[in-house]
Structure 1
Amino acid sequence: MEIYKGTATFSGIAIGKILYYSRGEYQIRQCLVSNIKKEIGNFQEARLQAVQKLHELYEVNRLLNEQEAGVFLRQIKLLESESYQNAIESSIANEKVNAAYAVMINRDELVETFRHLEEPVIRRRINDMQEISNRLIQILGGAAIRINLGDEPVILVAEALSPTEIMEMDKDKLLAVVMHHGSAVSHASIMAKTMEIPTLVDVAADDEWDGKTAIVDGYTGTFYLNPDAEIQKEYEIRLEADRREREELLKLKAQKDETKDGSHIGLYANIGNMSDLSSVLFYGAKGIGLLRSEFQYLGRENYPRENELFRAYKKVAETMGERLAVIRTADLGADKQAPYLDIPQETNPIMGNRGIRLCLDRRRMFKAQLRAIYRASAYGNLAMMFPMIDSEEEMDEIWQIIEEVKEGLREKDIPFKEIMTGIMIETPAAVMISRELAKHVDFLSIGTNDLTQYTLAMDRQNPLLKDKYNDHHPAILRMVRMVVDAAHQEGRKVGICGEIAADTALTKKFLEMGVDFLSVVPACVLPVRKAIRETDLGGEKVSAVK
């Protein structure tokens, strides 16, 4: 038996056979061709096959996670671009080489040119180029994509996985995912989390493991290769206990978010696309504490129209009924971009023109979203909040725009409600003036993901910092308390919607601080509810957001 220690990015236990997944590295031979027209035709035929397959993959995966499935639309756009087609056809014609070789050399030249650049937008484009190139090479070379997981569920082990590769696999055949490279906030980990699959990263994988038995402990981050009989029996018992615990958790779906001493807290769900609405209801969340509205802007070729936004928000309002649904206005920029947005290249986009800054620069886009939200408010219990707020001046500008929007709706006799508004507290600056910001809105919501990286001056997606990045840093917890105290002094509610809201080891601490609500991914609602119900605050009650 061999034991490896990794990092768990989604909890759970899995026991099964390993399937080692290796990306195909194709050594394409350079062949001189005499019939240039025929070779260009081969390339175009392969390109069309790839586009068709990507459309199919998008349709299959968009209901699971529309934002992540947008990668397929980006790759289609790249395949259909004239610049890409011209580059390949030019290589075939000028160098008289076979299509597969032309695709390979264009891919390798791009990777070599930009391999030292770490900007998320550039890295994403390189990844897209590598994936469409590999897909074309596979089609042109007649090689099958090794995505078939077989007849029985397996533990998938790989050096690294892209979200595209995970989305191509049969979800019912995945017991667990184990990667050497990656992080808790990588897109591949997010996809696995969306599918509720136990996932480990930082485990040095070996292709000789293929076919061997393994155990994945998604609670401790431990990976057992060829476990002995005693360990396997122990984990079979734990796996059954895990299943029973899940059944017990499901009994909490209709229970109150109430501590042993009768204190209440609002427990909401974070969602990133429309398909998650059913999960919010299934797990019995009080409502939606964070709807990431970027999903309507990404993976497409132009701005969504106001009516398209309105229909989506109307569906949210109607589906949630009396439950509160908080829509965060578009947090675009940094690593959330689309070509049509035409955001100028920035040296450090994480610190750049993103969130509310971009919205205030593009008032037409911002007004369209605000109108859609207010129009949809007539059909349910909506609220909205604004990302990356750093100053009162930004809020003054936002309120001016909101008044213009509401006046326009009144002039056209379009019904709407006066809805609650909130601010995302995501920077140290916002923490320091949180009492002043609280005067402008009804509630504050702490986005600990960005707050942590800005406070620690660490990119949370930088693999070199994965052992140093600490969202439990004392400074972060002190900031949470500062914001809670500041908001309460102004009679405002305050909650947490970052990843640490789902950390049940901190639930009691957050309740003791006086946090009014927590918002977590739907799959974490019941574990957090269990932690709330097992907490005793000694009679000191906190109030729930209305």
Structure 2
Amino acid sequence: MLTYQGKSVFGGIAIGKIRVYRKNAQTVKRVRVEDPQREMERFLAAKETAAAQLKSLYDKACREVGEDNAAIFEIHQMMLDDADYLESIENIIKNQSLGAEYAVAATGENFAQMFASMDDAYMQARAADVKDISERLLRILSGREEEQDGGGEPMILAAEDLAPSETVQLDKSKVLAFVTVKGSANSHTAILARTMNIPAIIGADLPLTDESDGKTAVVDGFSGKIYVDPEPELLKEMQARLAQEKEKKRLLQTLKGKENVTLDGKRIQVYANIGNSRDLALVLSNDAGGIGLFRSEFLYLERDTFPTEEEQFVIYKQVAETMAGKKVIIRTLDIGADKQADYFGLAHEENPAMGLRAIRLCLTRPEIFKTQLRALFRAAAFGNLSVMYPMITSVAEMRKIQAVVQQVTEELTADGVPFMVPEQGIMIETPAAVMISDLLAKEAAFFSIGTNDLSQYTMAIDRQNPSLDDFFEPHSEAVLRMIQMTVENGHKEGIWVGICGELGADLDLTQTFLKMGVDELSVSPGRVLPLRQVIRQTDTRKL
């Protein structure tokens, strides 16, 4: 038995086989070959396999998300047959006598740079497509094309780290636990683990090698330990603890249908945070009262091109209809900082967390913003949908947003398209927003406090930097005072105030928030019932 140590970011026990996640990007060496014709045959065989994979993905996507959302795989199939792309690969193999892997990698890089340098946004987006196709061919040529699927068996996912764009593409039903070598307690992997209610460990010294891949392991999310090839006695002990955890979850299910009311009769709304429509089942199964944060940027991170108005409308409408009158709060696009999509063509920034992100990006790219608002306003006619704007720092920004909203409503009216202007709120994520929350409360129907960024900006700590974890104070008095100020200023103007950041799920703070008068807590779906339990056991008169 081998034991490895990391830092727990979400508790729980998981038992299963390790699957080492390897990044798509591969290092390819420039190797001369004796038989160029054989290399061409290898490439053509890989191309056929890639075409079959893309056809299968297209058919699967059509069944699950519709033809519009499946179109990207059709584009990839067409680009795979692009004459210029194929001729470049053939030229490198035959005329330079270089291996198929190098030919594909070099061509992919050259074409990606070519597309990225074009002025047309559509052509720029093809850069990501050609990279995707080339990486697929490289995986096939190297014999690794099936490596990431885990063979259909639930797995303990081990990785160096996972970017937001990678986490959204995972088959989450097959992940038992996350173990990463890098990452921070506030990384998107950690947030995803809390959403899925599964154990997660960061900073682990587990070697990401073929020797680890496929080994049976136990992840103890409470202690931060990973046991590879566990001894029978330890395995038996952990199986017993896992059974206890399942029993606790079963008992929590008895809280379904119960109200979120304290012993002294104070009611608080408990909503769920999600990243896409596929999380709706988790929201409903955990009996959330609504959706307090729909992270719309994940619609963009899942793709290689900008989602159209119609594609967004279909998804927002589905969410609104599925929630059947329960509140659905959709955050407008929050791309930037640690959430990057190549096709946006964002310039490199020395400090992206304080750069062109969220509402700043939307106001400087009004065509993107208006497309999303049109889709949201159309979907609002089909349910109890609200919109909130992230990273607001001034009243002037809200006035600019309302000018765009006016344009959108006029255009929709002129087009004769049914729509409804939804309730509009502000995310409080910066000290600036807190300090002028009395003024911002006059511009909004509600506040939702994003404690992840608010903590980061208040303490001047990059929440993605693991070396600063020891300096990060999750219960910072400064942050708690800012929350209190925001609640008081919101209530003075008669608007409700909620929390949608990770602190909302911190059960050690639930009574503090109840005492402050917070109206709503929005948490990962798996934290809804534990939160409800604490609320129902609290008497605020005794706080």
Tell me, yes or no, whether TM beats 0.5: yes
Question: d(CA) in 2 for partners of 1:480 and 1:429?
Answer: 13
* Contact persistence 1:74–1:300 (CA under 8 A): no
Question: d(CA) in 2 for partners of 1:180 and 1:138?
Answer: 23
Equivalence for 1:350: 353
Question: d(CA) in 1 for partners of 2:225 and 2:63?
Answer: 32
> 1:18-71: CA deviations, max 9, x gaps?
5667789889683424546x64564354245346536756886999999xx99x
Equivalence for 1:330: 333
How far 1:395 sits from its partner (Å)? 0.9
How far 1:228 sits from its partner (Å)? 6.3
| Aligned-residue identity in percent | 47
Equivalence for 1:288: 291
Equivalence for 1:297: 300
Superposition pairs for residues 78-477 of structure 1, below 5 Å? 91-93=92-94, 95-103=96-104, 135-142=136-143, 145-147=146-148, 149=150, 155-157=156-158, 174-186=175-187, 188-189=189-190, 195-206=196-207, 214-224=217-227, 232-300=235-303, 302-410=305-413, 414-417=417-420, 419-477=422-480
> 1:247-294: CA deviations, max 9, x gaps?
111222211111222211111111221122232222211111111222
**Other structure's SS at 1:268 match:** strand
**Other structure's SS at 1:251 match:** helix
Q: Which amino acid aligns with 2:8?
A: A
Structure 2 gaps, min length 5:
112-125
Question: May I ask how many residue pairs the two structures share in their alignment?
Answer: 522
How far 1:441 sits from its partner (Å)? 0.7
* Contact persistence 1:63–1:275 (CA under 8 A): no
Give TM-score, length-normalised by structure 1. Answer: 0.79
* Contact persistence 2:317–2:379 (CA under 8 A): yes
> 1:92-150: CA deviations, max 9, x gaps?
3553211124456789999xxxxxxxxxxxxxx99999987665344224466444657
* Contact persistence 1:47–1:79 (CA under 8 A): no
Equivalence for 1:113: none
How far 1:436 sits from its partner (Å)? 0.8
Q: Aligned pair in 2 of structure 1 residues 258, 90: CA closer, same or farther (>3 Å)?
A: farther
**Other structure's SS at 2:256 match:** coil
**Other structure's SS at 1:255 match:** coil
Q: Which amino acid aligns with 1:500?
A: L
How far 1:336 sits from its partner (Å)? 3.8
Question: d(CA) in 1 for partners of 2:168 and 2:320?
Answer: 29
How far 1:368 sits from its partner (Å)? 3.1
Q: Which amino acid aligns with 2:367?
A: R
Equivalence for 2:15: 15
How far 1:175 sits from its partner (Å)? 3.8
* Contact persistence 1:270–1:520 (CA under 8 A): yes
Question: d(CA) in 2 for partners of 1:310 and 1:293?
Answer: 12
Equivalence for 2:119: none
Structure 1 gaps, min length 5:
111-124, 541-546
Question: RMSD in angstroms over aligned alpha carbons?
Answer: 4.3
Question: d(CA) in 1 for partners of 2:285 and 2:506?
Answer: 21
- Range with bigger deviation, 173-182 or 23-32: 23-32
Superposition pairs for residues 451-530 of structure 1, below 5 Å? 451-530=454-533
* Contact persistence 2:57–2:73 (CA under 8 A): no
Give TM-score, length-normalised by structure 2. Answer: 0.80
Q: Which amino acid aligns with 2:219?
A: V
How far 1:222 sits from its partner (Å)? 3.3
Q: Which amino acid aligns with 1:176?
A: A
Question: d(CA) in 2 for partners of 1:415 and 1:129?
Answer: 38
How far 1:443 sits from its partner (Å)? 0.8
Question: d(CA) in 1 for partners of 2:274 and 2:297?
Answer: 11
**Other structure's SS at 1:297 match:** helix
